[in-house]
Structure 1
Amino acid sequence: MTLTLPHRPLQTSYDYIVVGAGSGGCAVARRLVDGSEATVLLIEAGDAGLDVAEIDDPREWVPLGRSRWDWGYSYAPTPRINNRVIGIPRGKVLGGSSAINALMWYRGHPLDYDAWDAAGAPGWRFADSLPYFKRAEDWEGGETAFRGAGGPLRIETSKGLHPVARAMMEGAGELGIPIIDDPNGATNEGATPSNFNISQGKRWSAATGYIRPILGHERLTVLTGSLAINLILENGRCVGVLHLVDGHPVETRVTTHVVLALGAIDTPRLLMLSGIGDPAELKRLGIPVAADLPGVGQNLQDHPLVQAIVCRSKQPLGPKTDNGGGTMLNWKSLPDLVQPDVHAFPVQGNSAEQTLRDRYDLSGEVFSLGAGLMHSKSVGYLRLLSAEPGGPLEIQPNFLAEPSDLEALVRACYTMMDLAETQAFADLFDGFAAPRRRPSRADMVEFVRQGCSTFFHTCGTAKMGEDALAVTDERLRVRGIDGLSIADASVIPIIPTCNTHAPVTMIGERAADFLLGRSAALAGTA
């Protein structure tokens, strides 16, 4: 039975308004309620989605894309991916994408965050960010120098690795890749059991961990089914939000601060609809300029994923376990790199893109090895094609635009084929299904173009920094507008080498501390 949210009448104003209840928004709202006497309104366009069977089941996350819980966005085609449209699952529900994703908790490499600091966001080094990662965690192994315990988000590993997942981990050792205990420990390089937001066999989303325990709090109002369509700006300050309630526009005012956490697609959309963005783009849309910030919608980054090397199995694979995977592999596509740039995971079944399904016979018992690029260099953009709320967008990640991205993916796919032929897979591997045999380099390039998909780690479209494209400062405040901050993946200046749920949660934790004036004290404990 689905959970019904407490009914609390909408007030005309609140101390804080948080727009978007994803990984960042849930963290901000919870910490504002816990850390102050303020009233908080959390606005979510989707439904509550708590205690919904298809959301809670970790094994069935894939069908949540293109369901009622998904915004239904897609990346625009280019010749580099053979003019295919790539869908981008984005959660439209309490918990945002943490309620429909692959349940991975992974923060990448320490150098990722040092790079943010070097790129013009001082105070975001790994040493500065680690306390906030730890504060979010309730790690099954308890607190360590790198892990937290007692936080809102439960994090566990597999209770019993699927044979395909175990073979990936053990086969990596045969290829000379280290086997490590924890990808969120001292190093992420190697094969390791995945960290999952799972507890007692059920998904543990940002909404489950951060918001559900305080749903009854008198200072928190959670409003679902409400689309934000504009920001109310007066004399250079954000003083409220215009949003739909039962289909009708309502102005709700704020006395202290508005925090945008709609994600890397809808935060820049709302900024531009409100006149915050590139004046040329706003003029094209007929929107008056409130703040000249040409970086809004620029710097879009994502991780390309090749779906997938598909192998025939000698034996039935049995029922799916965990999230349908269970382990991960992080390694260097070239030996002289300073950190791992490629990533792979097993799939207990067929995970091939439709173009590959159309091209190859993938019938029968098969398993897949997905390979992706986590240190991608290609950069794209987002454009509004209409000034109407909910209007069409052009979302372009420019996958494979950088030749080095394509080369790394080609090498990663060959490594997956090497992995399938290790002794660890001897009881499983019964030949390749896609591709059918080890291809030439030219054929592997074509395979990558045909199979290129997304990890749906869209980020960077309202980045923090100091250059001409920076939209926020290092404390997440929108430049040129008082009383407005961003706490989602759009502020990320350089994509980290990981799934984005963990870093965005960390950003939300930090955003609340910035607002409450506590950041320096906690950062000093790193």
Structure 2
Amino acid sequence: MSVPIVPRKPVARAYDYIVVGAGSGGCAVARRLIDGSDATVLVIEAGPAGIGIPEIDNPAAWVPLGRGTYDWGYDYAPNAAVNGRTIGIPRGKVLGGSSSINAMMWYRGDQRDYDGWEAGGAEGWSFKDVLPYFKRSEDWEGGETEWRGAGGPLRIERSPSLHPVAQAMIDGSGELGIPIIDDPNGPENEGASRANLNIANGQRWSSARGYLWPILYNERLTILTDALAIGLGIENGRCVSVRYVAEGDLHEVRATSGVVLALGALDTPRLLMMSGIGNPAELKRLGVDVHLGLPGVGQNLQDHPLVQACVFRASRPLGPLRDNGGGAVINWKSSASLQQPDLHAFPVQGNSAEPRIRELYDLSGDVFSIGCGLMRSTSVGYMRLLSAAPGGAMEIQPNYLAEKSDLDALVIAVETMMELAATRSYADWFGGYAAPARRLSRAEIVDYIRDACSTFFHVSGTCKMGKDDMAVVDSRLRVQGIEGLTIADASVMPVIPTCHTHAPVTMIGERAADFLLGAA
């Protein structure tokens, strides 16, 4: 596919639909509205187009994108459980959102994740309900099966030539009794396997590339980049417009059919609160007039804690990076009594340690790493605005490690990774422990985790779907109490699924479009 250019069009006074945010969810909504109706659609994106940018396109160059030009630059607030450290949260500020800066991992999680959503009050969101939407989004290298889709917008491939440290992770898992499986997006996800990656022909395959590029020149689509949404217009209980700033000027554009918020789990609740939708006490503190009291806005924040990382000395140079710098994954259980895997790990062809670990340990020379984390974390946090001004400060607190069970599971994860590196499968590469520099006691592992705890940047849950008093959207993703306003991003997840969030957010966007079009 040739590299396109986003057409510069004058912004009309009104559109049928306005989609705010062009990340994984917003791209899917925009594409399906264009394909499935004769509606006019305006997409408002705060970041640039990001098309033809080598560091975005190159799968091996993704790590520096966090904290760079295409990142919002958000941080988690310090917490005593992580030794008072500030943890950065990479969030994509560009067409494609975080799918344009992430590690390109494509996972749905466990079937029971979505069955749990339905059991908790999200009617129609069981795995059997969402599987068709996962499949519809996919162009899987193996073709269509009962579990996988083909011909969809997002290309998904596995490494054609795994790096040896990634292959060692798979083989070493077998030595430890962890199953080796072909596809973690198949009927079972427990085990070690080659990673599913949004990579094609050696390039990143983001949501922008998959969903938007084919429709960029559609006359009914207008994409407005470098435009910051700062408010919603509410009239007679209905969302009818979006206010935004572009090139320093304030503008307002109307929506005749509906507004879709897809700004992500931080900026969707921010925009709602700036528009007078949220906890009345919080809005009063901010000096914002209340349009609608919804106490759940900004609450229920969830993210997967990541131990970043266990670092090992390499007995020889690793050579050029392959794939996304990883290439394999493990999903396994911290306890045999669990019904589904709760732990996740991946290899890194180099040093991926948190800044504090780099301060504490000598990581010079040739090293490789293994990141491990908890995908069934139970600690829950919040986000709150410290200012209602556009771009104002936020307090974002995931409460990592607040629950003892989370810490206990992560101890198992670190112990397993230390054992894994010492298996026969790593014999050609393992040159000793670097960080930790030796096998540790449980108490020492806990200290290490507190210094190494980081984020998968899977922030979610802040406008959750459900029926209880803290629910923000109903099971058709409509903001409760306001007509014409839908949310299609990770904020609607009632419980974070046991996976990277790009795939489930894409599925949410696919479903949101069907709800709007009356197709579901």
Is TM-score (shorter-chain normalized) higher than 0.5?
yes
Q: How many equivalent residue pairs? A: 519
Q: Distance in 1 between matches of 2:127 and 2:5?
A: 39
Matching residue's letter, 2:24: S
Secondary structure, counterpart of 2:257 in structure 1: strand
Q: Distance in 2 between matches of 1:243 and 1:437?
A: 54
Matching residue's letter, 2:444: D
Q: Distance in 2 between matches of 1:235 and 1:407?
A: 51
Q: Is the 8 A contact 2:245 2:251 kept in 1?
A: yes
The Cα RMSD (Å) is 0.8
Alignment partner of 1:25 is 2:38:
no
Match of 1:258 in 2: 259
Q: Distance in 2 between matches of 1:215 and 1:430?
A: 50
Give the Å deviation of 1:4.
3.0
Give the Å deviation of 1:3.
4.7
Secondary structure, counterpart of 2:219 in structure 1: coil
Q: Is the 8 A contact 1:2 1:49 kept in 2?
A: no
Q: Distance in 1 between matches of 2:69 and 2:315?
A: 37
Q: Distance in 1 between matches of 2:54 and 2:61?
A: 9
Q: Is the 8 A contact 1:2 1:52 kept in 2?
A: no
Q: Distance in 1 between matches of 2:371 and 2:246?
A: 42
Q: Distance in 2 between matches of 1:358 and 1:91?
A: 28
Q: Distance in 1 between matches of 2:352 and 2:68?
A: 18
Match of 2:130 in 1: 129
Match of 2:293 in 1: 292
Q: Distance in 2 between matches of 1:300 and 1:260?
A: 17
Alignment of structure 1 residues 212-231 onto 2, 5 Å: 212-231=213-232
Deviations along 1:22-55, one digit per CA (max 9) or x if unpaired, are: 0000000000000000000000000000111000
Alignment partner of 1:417 is 2:428:
no
Alignment partner of 1:272 is 2:273:
yes
Matching residue's letter, 2:150: A
Alignment partner of 1:44 is 2:45:
yes
Give the Å deviation of 1:358.
0.6
Alignment partner of 1:499 is 2:500:
yes
Match of 2:239 in 1: 238
Give the Å deviation of 1:2.
7.3
Alignment of structure 1 residues 453-472 onto 2, 5 Å: 453-472=454-473
**Kindly, what percent of the aligned residue pairs are identical?**
68
Alignment of structure 1 residues 374-523 onto 2, 5 Å: 374-519=375-520
Q: Distance in 2 between matches of 1:4 and 1:421?
A: 50
Matching residue's letter, 1:515: L
Q: Distance in 2 between matches of 1:244 and 1:255?
A: 21
Which runs of 4 or more aligned residues in structure 1 lie more than 2 Å from their structure 2 counterparts after TM superposition?
1-4
* Structure 1 unpaired stretches of 5+: 520-526
Deviations along 1:41-72, one digit per CA (max 9) or x if unpaired, are: 00000000011100000001000011110000
Q: Distance in 2 between matches of 1:273 and 1:2?
A: 37
Matching residue's letter, 2:504: P
Matching residue's letter, 1:203: R
Q: Distance in 2 between matches of 1:339 and 1:4?
A: 44
Secondary structure, counterpart of 1:227 in structure 2: strand
Matching residue's letter, 1:52: I
* Structure 2 unpaired stretches of 5+: none
Q: Distance in 1 between matches of 2:199 and 2:134?
A: 17
Q: Distance in 2 between matches of 1:364 and 1:182?
A: 34
Give the Å deviation of 1:8.
1.4
Q: Distance in 2 between matches of 1:44 and 1:77?
A: 29
Match of 2:359 in 1: 358
Deviations along 1:159-186, one digit per CA (max 9) or x if unpaired, are: 1000000000000000000000001000
Alignment partner of 1:139 is 2:119:
no
Give the Å deviation of 1:190.
0.0
Q: Is the 8 A contact 2:4 2:213 kept in 1?
A: no
Q: Distance in 2 between matches of 1:249 and 1:117?
A: 41
Q: Distance in 1 between matches of 2:431 and 2:74?
A: 37
Match of 2:327 in 1: 326
Secondary structure, counterpart of 1:168 in structure 2: helix
Give the Å deviation of 1:245.
2.2
Q: Distance in 2 between matches of 1:189 and 1:2?
A: 38
Deviations along 1:161-214, one digit per CA (max 9) or x if unpaired, are: 000000000000000000000010001000000000001000000000000010
Matching residue's letter, 1:186: P
Deviations along 1:66-109, one digit per CA (max 9) or x if unpaired, are: 11100000000111000000000000000000000000111110
TM-score w.r.t. the length of structure 1 is 0.98
